[in-house]
Amino acid sequence: MKFLLLHPATFSRAPIAPMLEAEEIGAQEIKSTGELKVADLRTVFLLDAASRAAFPAASLRSFTDAGGAVVALGAAGEADVPTELDDLVAAYVPDPPGVRHLLVAMRSAYREAAARTEAVRARQEAATRSRELGELTRIGIALSTERDYNTLLDLILSQARQVTGSDAGSLYLVETLENEKKRLRFKLSQNHSRDIPLVEFTIPIDHASIAGYVASTGEPLVIDDAYFLPPDVEFTFNRSVDQKHGYRTKSLMTIPMKDHKDTVIGVLQLINRKRDFAVKLAAPADVDAQVIPYTRRTVELVTSLAGQAAVSIENSQLYESIERLFEGFVTAAVTAIEQRDPTTFGHSGRVATMTVGLAEAVDRSGAGLYRSIRFTREQLREIRYAGLLHDFGKVGVREQVLVKAKKLYPPDLALIKQRYAFIRRTADAEFQEQRALFLEKCGTEGYEDALKRLRAEHDTRLQELDRFMQLITQSNEPTVLPEGSFEELMRYAQVFYPDLEGKQLPYLTDDEVRFLSIRKGSLDESERLEIESHVTHTYRFLMQIPWTKELEDIPRIAYGHHEKLDGSGYPRKVRADLIPIQTRMMTISDIFDALTASDRPYKRAVPLPRALDIMTSEVKAGMLDPDLFALFTEAKVFERPTDG
């Protein structure tokens, strides 16, 4: 039967009985609009005048839009097609209907029904193709934007399962071993009906297995039932996983994933295409009822998706290799910094780790000024790189200034020590000379008393010289905070001694007094400015790097790590409104590590409580961000394991 005739109960079949006797036409009586539906056959509705009220124009239009055709019978005295039916009927037969006229109208309607059905099928096919194209486009966009490799693989498999209605699936990737022999690695599996743990393994790329066969030939493979393979195929299906987990693999579709060079980089295998994607295959009966074969169209769809997936995997692997390359560059840069000043080894890594930890604490915070701030994975990576590279500009600072441990450079201190030794030897010589002059002038009479007096004067002078050297040693030590009084140093600048030529020279030169009078740290003003210039060097260096959009703020973040909210920092002395939150966090981490890091030649490590007290005083002075410092201490960010 190719055609179906629908008609209301009021219509008598007698006039068209000869046509209905043909094997290719069936007839069905209907009573309501709910029964007026287009079947899989070419369908015509024969509407008599008595039933028009029961089948309004709206229901007839739905019927014709679905691919049916209408033949209308005229009412008594009706000359032409009623206006409301004018654009809905394929043929109109006036009253009284002649048999020949009626049969001609029906044949015309069946031809129109055939055309309408084909048009509907074409529209549906176009809509399906458009939907599939849209779905593939959406999937392609999702794949191209996913940067995490493992998430990308999971997305590829889940999207392939969804677009085909597959219950399960597996993903294999080609890997090259040390001997340059390639194998397939079972990398990922998904199963909607069973919880099957993933165990990675490799298989040869040959014709022994289904996945290996597809990887070897580069051609798709569709199997309607994996348990009943044709006897002449080379590959076999391994049922061990099914048997272990009580699963039944039936329909299979295995597609090669090829890159832009048409090289197979992996295999996508889909299992058990279902009528209803949401249904779980809990029992064999479910498999029988739900599982259907994969079609040629599903092969086309997944082949297209596999091509997109292969490109995305290649891009992801390339992205990861670029990241590894950049990580190597950053590591090399940090190593270069720390080799110039080994005493600060690990500082950059610790600052980066603590700053990221503080950013994560901000993310978790549900209160305070920054409760609405959230950092993405890319922003956290940006913060980490900025922390690692924040001191790179120190490569542009003179090494003697960079590693200056004391207020005086070692050669300058050695010169003072030589001067001290010379003055002491001079004092010893003068003492011996005075003894000899007394004996020469007065002989032994009163010698003992004179010697006692000369020795006391000499001892007093030596004690004064030792006090001088002790003061130099003490004054040469740097301090964390401004402290000390330097009046005694200034006094020694006014004390003179004769050199070998008899010229009077001061115990301390003006430059020596200036260095020894440094109130905080070990650097004088010019040296401090040279050290501070490392921030500008860092910024200029980082600005030379063509950062990606996700990392483009690294130079700006690193540039301000020595700025203070009150404008007292350096090098630009900007205030709070121009210092981004990432930089504020780095400043806190940098100061904390500078205070608490292990003993260095130019400073001793400050205990944790003392360090927090010092930083608290800077918070109260308006230099550091109070909300961020509170999160830093509450979350104990400083206890996080670090890279350095």
- List, for residues 41-97, the tens digit of each pLDDT value: 788 888 888 888 888 888 888 988 888 898 888 888 787 888 778 888 888 888 888
The number of beta carbons lying within 10 Å of the beta carbon of residue 274 is 23
Q: What is the pTM of this model?
A: 0.61
More confident residue, 310 or 431: 431
The distance of Cα 151 from the centroid of its chain, to the nearest Å, equals 11
CA distance 621 to 559: 22
| Position 140 in a domain | no
Cα 583 to Cα 269, 354, 558, 559, distances in angstroms: 48, 12, 7, 8
Q: Are 276 and 234 in contact (CB under 8 A)?
A: no
Q: Say which amino acid occupies 639.
A: E
Strand pairing partners for 504? 498
The b-or-e profile of 21-53 (16+ CB within 10 A means b, else e) is: eeeebbbeebeeeeebebbebbbbbbbbbebbe
Pairing of strands 166-176, 264-274: antiparallel
- Residue 644 in this model has a pLDDT that exceeds 50: no
Q: Are 361 and 632 in contact (CB under 8 A)?
A: yes
pLDDT for position 319: 79
What is the separation, in whole angstroms, between the first and last Cα of the chain?
A: 83
Pairing of strands 504-506, 69-73: unpaired
DSSP per position, 278-299: T----SHHHHHHHEEPPPHHHH
Question: In this structure, are 293 and 348 located in the same domain?
Answer: no
CA distance 14 to 196: 66
Question: In this structure, are 104 and 167 located in the same domain?
Answer: no
| Position 312 in a domain | yes
For 250, phi then psi, to 5°, come to: -120, -90
CA distance 555 to 578: 14
| Position 233 in a domain | yes
Question: In this structure, are 603 and 564 located in the same domain?
Answer: yes
DSSP per position, 426-483: HHHHHHHHHHHHHHHHHTTTTHHHHHHHHHHHHHHHHHHHHHHHHHHHHHTS--SS--
User: Which of 478, 505, 520 represents a domain boundary (last residue)?
Assistant: 520
pLDDT for position 286: 94
Question: In this structure, are 307 and 171 located in the same domain?
Answer: yes
Q: Say which amino acid occupies 152.
A: L
Question: In this structure, are 392 and 415 located in the same domain?
Answer: no
Closest CA to 269 of 210, 330, 318: 210
Q: Are 74 and 92 in contact (CB under 8 A)?
A: yes
Strand pairing partners for 201? 186
Question: In this structure, are 471 and 569 located in the same domain?
Answer: no
User: Which of 122, 137, 172 represents a domain boundary (last residue)?
Assistant: 122
More confident residue, 404 or 146: 404
User: Which of 493, 520, 547 represents a domain boundary (last residue)?
Assistant: 520
CA distance 579 to 564: 8
- List, for residues 86-104, the tens digit of each pLDDT value: 888 888 888 888 888 888 8
CA distance 94 to 19: 19
Identify the three-state secondary structure at position 162: helix
- List, for residues 429-485, the tens digit of each pLDDT value: 999 988 899 888 888 888 888 889 999 999 999 999 999 999 898 888 887 555 556
CA distance 55 to 82: 14
| Position 356 in a domain | yes
- Residue 248 in this model has a pLDDT that exceeds 80: yes
| Lowest mean pLDDT, pick from 321-330, 351-360, 455-464, 573-582 | 321-330
CA atoms within 13 A on the CB side of 370: 24
- Residues with Cβ < 8 Å from 487, sequence gap 6 or more? none
CA distance 598 to 593: 9
- List, for residues 15-50, the tens digit of each pLDDT value: 777 777 766 778 888 888 888 888 877 888 888 888
| Position 334 in a domain | no
For 73, phi then psi, to 5°, come to: -95, 135
Question: In this structure, are 7 and 98 located in the same domain?
Answer: yes
CA distance 416 to 598: 30
Question: In this structure, are 194 and 64 located in the same domain?
Answer: no
Question: In this structure, are 455 and 472 located in the same domain?
Answer: yes
Closest CA to 391 of 444, 445, 344: 344
Question: In this structure, are 108 and 257 located in the same domain?
Answer: no
pLDDT for position 100: 83
Strand pairing partners for 264? 258
Instruction: Give the max Cα distance, the chain.
Output: 174
- List, for residues 469-526, the tens digit of each pLDDT value: 998 988 888 875 555 567 888 888 889 999 888 899 999 999 998 898 888 888 888 8
Question: In this structure, are 300 and 157 located in the same domain?
Answer: yes
The number of beta carbons lying within 10 Å of the beta carbon of residue 134 is 10
Cα 51 to Cα 11, 82, 109, 325, 603, distances in angstroms: 9, 14, 19, 80, 104
| Position 141 in a domain | no
Domain count for the chain, please give it.
4
H-only helix segments in 282-409: 284-290, 296-340, 347-364, 377-389, 399-402
571-579: average pLDDT? 93
Range of the domain at 534: 341-401+527-639
Question: In this structure, are 192 and 305 located in the same domain?
Answer: yes
CATH number at residue 261: 3.30.450.40
CATH number at residue 26: 3.40.50.2300
| Position 309 in a domain | yes
CA 33, 36, 38 angle in degrees (round to 5)? 155
CA atoms within 13 A on the CB side of 189: 15
pLDDT for position 47: 87
| Position 331 in a domain | no
- List, for residues 124-160, the tens digit of each pLDDT value: 777 767 776 777 667 667 667 677 778 888 888 888 8
CATH number at residue 591: 1.10.3210.10
